[in-house]
Amino acid sequence: MNALVALCHFCELHGPRTLFCTEALHPPSPSPSSQAGAPVPGDRDRDGDREGEGLTMRANSSATQKGEMCDVMSPLRYHLSQSTNFSLFLSSQGCRSLPASHPGFVSIDDETGIRFLSHQHPRQSQLFSVVRQACVRSLSCEVCPGREGPIFFGDEQHGFVFSHTFFIKDSLARGFQRWYSIVMVAMDRIYLINSWPFLLRHLRLTIQSLQSTALKVFDNEQGVCPQRAVRMNSGFSPAVFPHQRSGNAARSLTSLTQHQNLWASLHSSFSWLLKACGSRLTEKLLEGAPTEDTLVLIERQTEQEEEMSCWEGAEGGTSKSQRPPSESELGHDFLSDDAKLDELPGPKFRSLRHLRQVLGATEFRQLVWHVLMGNQVIWRGADPGLIQSAFTVLKSLLPVGCVRSVPYSAQYEEAYKCNFLGLSPDVPIPTHVGSSEFSVLVDVSSERSCQISVLCEDDISSLYQFTISSANTQPTDRGPTLLNKLEVALSNENLSVDVVSHCLLCLKEEWMNKVKVLFKFSKVDGRGREDTQKVLALLGATGPGEEDNVRLLKFWMTGLSKTYKSHLMTAVRGGERMV
């Protein structure tokens, strides 16, 4: 991020002027010749004059946000180059901060080697014109109502500017105040906008410090010689008015604040601001668009936060434990319960392959078939940890948007609330559920009542007996295609558990893309049955197991994110308007 900070002033004689500017210079990349030998003293200073270094702010994780910017110099090493004639530093000219002979201020970050240079103007002519334009616009046309406060403006060619205008009390000025602004100029619009709260908070500290110091000087001067009475008693003449203005226009900010080390203090503040602003946000590489699972998780988290806010607002901060859980919170178990799985005692299923070994290949295929078809999967037993571990393994077969889980309950929950339901042993299954082909029941009974030892925790088959029952009469050995490919991977002992997990992830992404095509074709475009059949053939969903493939696609279609559906509908409507 290319950025610099500048203090600007509106002079009554010359108009907007730049008073003080701080920029960040990165160390140049080491050349092969410099790497071969020892560093030459003075090379660092000579390299600083290169035009190609730029004013890039890079992330530094060790930087912290401080409240008092003027006091923050660590871990910066502060070097103040003193001029032989320091009286010029307190010049009465209001349009100049440092005399031309003053070398300026330098702060070096020992951790990154970044140097922060401050002088009246930037060292590069190209940056001079950019800062000059930002200064003029911040003190003329780009101002907020009341002429005091923050504003954002800019373009790609001249950079983007965060500007904060403010007034400084001056007993000799017209209206008893002078107009200033602090601008941050950057080429990265998004970064600058995201830094708005941070910049506003810390720039206000600097501005308030300047204003409070100048106000004390103003009150003292008014106590000695009230200027309002002097001006009212003095004669006014158009001929002498320009001379009266010129006599008061050149009063410097140092004179207004009576701060002998004003520019050194501003250099400290601006240097820390550049360092901290570049450290608080970091860039991350995103490989492609977010997956449907990521979008659904974000939507669920947002919905849960909104529901909690509504409950707290409606019931005066009622705690979560004092109200019944909502449907989104039941579904949110996908996020929270899985993280607590390792904390539960007793044996647990570790992977799909482990579950297949315990249940057997035939029973495992039957169970997974019901999961992929969207039927309700009910586990009933006395070990909540075992049931929850089974759900964790089985949920990996589905997109996140298709999962609605109640890990363990003392009563039956209908299928529209959850497709994964854990029950205690004494909970009866309703008759309409037991006779339905859209559900499967797994009864977990203990083989022996002795204490489960640590040695046999992994041997689940010797501890429990699993009985799978369902009223479904449809054969499960034909499809869907995803299940056939998954079983090939699970039965291949040469593939590790991690490899099988990646294989499953690829299969899910493949079929989720087919779901998107089918949704666009059938739901959005509204094509007929014949055209839909052609699309299914194109997607490879026809042939053996076609009926199961279609059921899987339709079920997974319910797991598409609202963001994707909304985006698709908006794009289609926009295309229709263009036609």
DSSP annotation of 429 reads P
**What mean pLDDT do residues 559-575 have?**
75
- In tens, the pLDDT along 331-342 reads 444 444 455 556
CB atoms within 10 A of CB 281: 15
- In tens, the pLDDT along 453-504 reads 444 555 787 888 899 998 887 777 777 889 999 999 999 999 999 999 999 9
Q: Are 494 and 562 in contact (CB under 8 A)?
A: no
Burial of 304 (0-12, 13-18, 19+ CB in 10 A): middle
**What mean pLDDT do residues 61-67 have?**
34
Measured CA to CA, the distance from residue 234 to residue 224 in angstroms comes to 18
Strands 464-469 and 115-119 come out as: unpaired
- Whose tokens are 């070990």? That residue is 383
Residue 178: helix, strand or coil by DSSP? strand
Q: Are 429 and 469 in contact (CB under 8 A)?
A: no
Looking at residue 229, what is its pLDDT?
A: 63
- Whose tokens are 């080390």? That residue is 261
Measured CA to CA, the distance from residue 96 to residue 9 in angstroms comes to 10
Q: Are 248 and 256 in contact (CB under 8 A)?
A: no
- In tens, the pLDDT along 71-86 reads 333 334 434 333 333 3
Looking at residue 233, what is its pLDDT?
A: 63
- In tens, the pLDDT along 432-455 reads 888 888 999 999 988 654 444 444
Positive or negative torsion for Cα 36, 41, 45, 51:
negative
Instruction: Give the tokens for residue 573.
Output: 């409507």
Among 119, 21, 93, CA closest to 255: 93
- Read off φ and ψ for residue 526, nearest 5 degrees: 70, 40
Q: What's the half-sphere exposure (Cβ side, CA atoms, 13 Å) at 481?
A: 17
Looking at residue 236, what is its pLDDT?
A: 54
Instruction: Give the tokens for residue 122.
Output: 């930037």
Measured CA to CA, the distance from residue 486 to residue 361 in angstroms comes to 12
Residue 119: helix, strand or coil by DSSP? strand
Burial of 292 (0-12, 13-18, 19+ CB in 10 A): buried
pLDDT > 90 fraction of the chain, expressed in percent and rounded = 25
pTM: 0.48
Looking at residue 559, what is its pLDDT?
A: 85
Mean pLDDT (the chain) is: 76
Residue 458: helix, strand or coil by DSSP? coil
- In tens, the pLDDT along 253-262 reads 888 888 888 9
Q: Are 207 and 182 in contact (CB under 8 A)?
A: yes
The pLDDT of residue 51 is above 50? no
The pLDDT of residue 391 is above 70? yes
Cis peptide before 480 (omega within 30 of 0): yes
Q: Give 372's pLDDT tier (boundaries 50, 70, 90).
A: very high
Instruction: Give the tokens for residue 368.
Output: 């997974």
The pLDDT of residue 147 is above 70? yes
